[in-house]
Every structure is written in structure tokens, then in C-alpha cells.
A and B are shown apart, each in its own frame.
Chain A
Amino acid sequence: MSAELRDEELERSFREAYRRPVPMPPLDEPALLSALAAERPPASSAGRPRWTGGGFMLSVPFAAAAALLLVLAGVLGGMALERRVTPTTPDSAQLIQFALVAPSASHVAVVGDFNGWDPRATPMRKLPSGATWTAAISVPEGRYAYAFVVDGRTWMPDPTAPLAPGDGFGHDSSVLVVPPGRSAL
């Protein structure tokens, strides 16, 4: 006989043994109920629910306090990191004048590395002559890519400045270099 068959035989015998009715004493219901009523809950859990398991114990107030501390640490840590990554502006900035001849445009903005490429950051003003748009921005030393946005949809490089290499997004840009303490290119 194989080991598997022996196991099956053994299992069947166990099943039959446990399924046999077991004689029980008659239930004295009133006595049982009065015994239960006399039972008192353990003092440690009275009015203070706890989670327990082996040596581990965590009360609700403790968990709440820990949660509060964790959230507080997260908020403070976040604020600290927020301050750390905030960009700073060097003092050695130069005023750079941008100009674009666009007589038929109704709105022109200059965007670039110096203003986060935000078309709302630096709108240009139309000169009384009616053809040229200008804007002046204080820009620190460095190399900047920039472009003009005409009427909110047409991107164009500065025709008077060096071209920046492919921007990776399908629009040409120009390059502005602000050397330390000298006029920009």
C-alpha cells in the first residue's frame, strides 16, 4: 500500500471519529446567564480600548499622538525642503532690452529661462511707432534660451540673436549670454 492510500485511510478514520455525536451535559441556561452577568471585564480595557497582541500594545491615544507627530514632522520637513529648493536671484543682474518688430501683432511676450517660460510673466509694450514691441528685464549672469510668443500662439526666435540648438519641442529659440559685469551678447 502506498503512503498516499495510508494517509487517506487515516484521514477517513479521523473524520468518522470526530463526526460521532459527543454526549453533552444538560444546559442550565439560567445558571449560565447569571455566571456571565457576574463576570467583570478586565480593568485594563475599561473605558480605554487597546489593540493587543503578544508583547505589542498600542492604545488609541498613543496612536493619535504618534499620528499627530508624524504629520507634524511631514509638514515641517516639507516646508524645510520647499525653502531649500526655492531658487535665489543673484545680485549681479543686468537690465536687458528685448525688441521685436511685429506690426500686425496684437500681443507679444518674451519668454525664456529667465522667467520660467511663462507667457504671462513679461508682456512687451508696443512703441508709439506702432511696429516695434519692447520689454526690459533684469537678468543675472548666465546663458539663457528665449523666444517671443506672438498673439499667444506663434513662437519665434529673436531675429537679431544667435539661434539656440533644437529645443526638443519643435520651436526655434534664441540665446542670450549675460557675462559678468559686461553688456550682454
Chain B
Amino acid sequence: MRTIGRIAPALALLLVAALALLLVAPLAHADLDPRLKSRLDAETATAVSQIVAQAQASGLPTEPLVDKALEGASKKASGPRIVAAVGQYALALAGARDALGRESRETEIVVGAGALLAGVTADSLAGLRAALPGRSLVVPLVVMADLLARRVPAPTASNAILAASRAGVRDVELLKLRARVEEDIRGGMPPGTSAMMRGRALLEPGGPLLGPQSRPRPSAP
């Protein structure tokens, strides 16, 4: 009887600890995004959620991170690969925000992160922001990332877009540049050569991609 009397408090504490675990476990589970819970294994979902929580605490966009994890799940990537991809994306988002400035729009940060992941340097992002204060950088960054994805060397792609943007080339013309480079590459031209040639043509007054309203303006000092 004395032995039971001694272990009873310990049993009671054990019971309370177990109940506390019962309480904490559902809370921890509920903290996960339901989309992650339903598409990823528990370990991967928890790791991704931790990255998302850190990003949220840093004021970074979090939806792209969840989307990246879901993309990995659909493409049947392994858990560690998904976590690595989401982690890299989070770092790129932070890098893009630092390079573009904290006042940047969320879409600019997301596109900037994509450009960094494609191989654009943070200096190029900052240069683009400095060249185009107050203007949306979404299209220039999308085109820059597209050129890199098509194997245009990073310095060539960055210089072409930066020069065109400084000259006041409109977004629609940058998109045409992208399409022309794609056609050239499909036709067998080296990506770097095509980007350089099309970039120069874009800056020539009366060039094939310039309309009457988009004459290049003098470069910013």
C-alpha cells in the first residue's frame, strides 16, 4: 500500500503529461496549412511549415512557398527535395526583397526570387530597381529569367534588359524581345548571340521592335 501511495502521484503526473501531449499534438497538427497536411507526409509538411512560419515572421510572401511544396508533391519529388526547394525559394525571396527594396510589391519580390534562382545576380536586381524607380519590375524580371532559362548567359541577359529598361522600352516590347529570342534559338542561333542582337535592335531608333511611341530615351546618368 505504501508503494502504491508513492507511485500514485507519479502516475497522476504521467497522466497529466499524457493529456498535455494530447492537447499539444492536435494544436501542432492544426497549425499546418491544410493543403500541406493533405498532400505531404507529416515530416515533410512539418519541415515546410517551419520554413513558411520563419518566412512569415520575416515579412516575406508565404503563398509561393506553399505552392512550391505542392508543386513538388505533384511532381512526386521526395520529401527532402521538396524541403530543399522550399528552403532555397525562401532564401531567394529574402534576397530579392533585400536587392529590390522593402517597399517592393509582393509580385516583384516573387519574380525577383525566380530571377535569382535562374542565375541573375542581386546586383542586377538592385541595378534594375535603381534604373526604374517607381516602375513595376515584374515584366523585365520575368523576361530576364526566361532568357536565362533559355541558356542566355546571365551577363548578356541582364545587360540587355537593363539597357532596354533604362532606355524606356515598354513591357510589351520586352515580351516581344523574349519571343524573338525564343524563335531564334529554335532556328538554331546561339542563345547569347540572339539576345545580344535582339537587345541592340530594340535600342535602335526605328528598329523592328520599336513603335513610334517607344523611341528610346537617353540613358539615366
- Contacts from A to B (Cβ < 8 Å): 50-54, 56, 58, 63, 66-67, 70-71, 73-75, 77-79, 81-82, 85-87, 111, 113, 116-119, 141-143, 145, 155, 162-173, 175, 177, 179, 185
Given contacts A119-B74, A143-B110, A177-B138, 18 further A-B contacts (CB under 8 A): A53-B6, A54-B9, A63-B15, A67-B15, A77-B30, A79-B30, A111-B74, A117-B71, A163-B145, A163-B149, A165-B145, A167-B75, A167-B85, A168-B68, A169-B72, A171-B75, A175-B142, A179-B138
Query: In the bound complex, do residue B148 and residue A165 qualify as a contact, i.e. CB atoms below 8 Å apart?
Result: yes
Query: In the bound complex, do residue B27 and residue A167 qualify as a contact, i.e. CB atoms below 8 Å apart?
Result: no
Query: In the bound complex, do residue A63 and residue B22 qualify as a contact, i.e. CB atoms below 8 Å apart?
Result: no
Which residues of chain A come closer than 8 Å to B16, judged between CB atoms?
Answer: 58, 63, 66
- Contacts from B to A (Cβ < 8 Å): 5-6, 8-12, 15-16, 19-20, 22-27, 29-35, 39, 63-64, 67-68, 70-75, 77, 81, 84-85, 88-89, 106-107, 110-111, 114-115, 117-119, 136, 138-139, 142-143, 145-146, 148-150, 175, 178
**Bound CA–CA A143/B111 (angstroms):** 7
Which residues of chain A come closer than 8 Å to B146, judged between CB atoms?
Answer: 162-163, 175
**Bound CA–CA A166/B88 (angstroms):** 12
Subset of 21 A-B contacts with CB under 8 Å: A52-B5, A58-B9, A70-B23, A71-B23, A74-B26, A82-B34, A85-B33, A86-B34, A117-B74, A117-B75, A119-B74, A145-B114, A162-B142, A162-B145, A162-B175, A163-B146, A163-B149, A167-B85, A168-B77, A168-B81, A168-B89
Closest to A70 in B: B23
Which among B20, B27, B63, B71 has the highest number of chain A CB atoms within 10 Å?
B71
Query: In the bound complex, do residue B75 and residue A170 qualify as a contact, i.e. CB atoms below 8 Å apart?
Result: yes
**Bound CA–CA A132/B139 (angstroms):** 28
Query: In the bound complex, do residue B34 and residue A168 qualify as a contact, i.e. CB atoms below 8 Å apart?
Result: no
Query: In the bound complex, do residue B145 and residue A175 qualify as a contact, i.e. CB atoms below 8 Å apart?
Result: yes
Which residues of chain A come closer than 8 Å to B39, judged between CB atoms?
Answer: 116
Query: In the bound complex, do residue A81 and residue B117 qualify as a contact, i.e. CB atoms below 8 Å apart?
Result: no
For B27, give its contact among A77, A164, A169, A175 (CB under 8 Å). A77
**Bound CA–CA A78/B26 (angstroms):** 6
| Closest-CB distance, B146 to chain A (whole angstroms) | 4
Closest to B111 in A: A143
Which residues of chain A come closer than 8 Å to B71, judged between CB atoms?
Answer: 113, 117, 145, 167, 169, 173
**Bound CA–CA A142/B5 (angstroms):** 65
Query: In the bound complex, do residue A116 and residue B5 qualify as a contact, i.e. CB atoms below 8 Å apart?
Result: no
Closest to A165 in B: B118
**Bound CA–CA A185/B20 (angstroms):** 52
| Contact A85 to B34, CB < 8 A, known contacts A52-B5, A78-B29 | yes
Query: In the bound complex, do residue A169 and residue B75 qualify as a contact, i.e. CB atoms below 8 Å apart?
Result: yes
Which residues of chain A come closer than 8 Å to B9, judged between CB atoms?
Answer: 51-54, 56, 58
| Contact A169 to B145, CB < 8 A, known contacts A67-B19, A82-B30 | no
**Bound CA–CA A66/B175 (angstroms):** 64
Which residues of chain A come closer than 8 Å to B35, judged between CB atoms?
Answer: 87, 116
Query: In the bound complex, do residue A53 and residue B8 qualify as a contact, i.e. CB atoms below 8 Å apart?
Result: yes
Which residues of chain A come closer than 8 Å to B74, judged between CB atoms?
Answer: 111, 117-119
**Bound CA–CA A163/B157 (angstroms):** 14
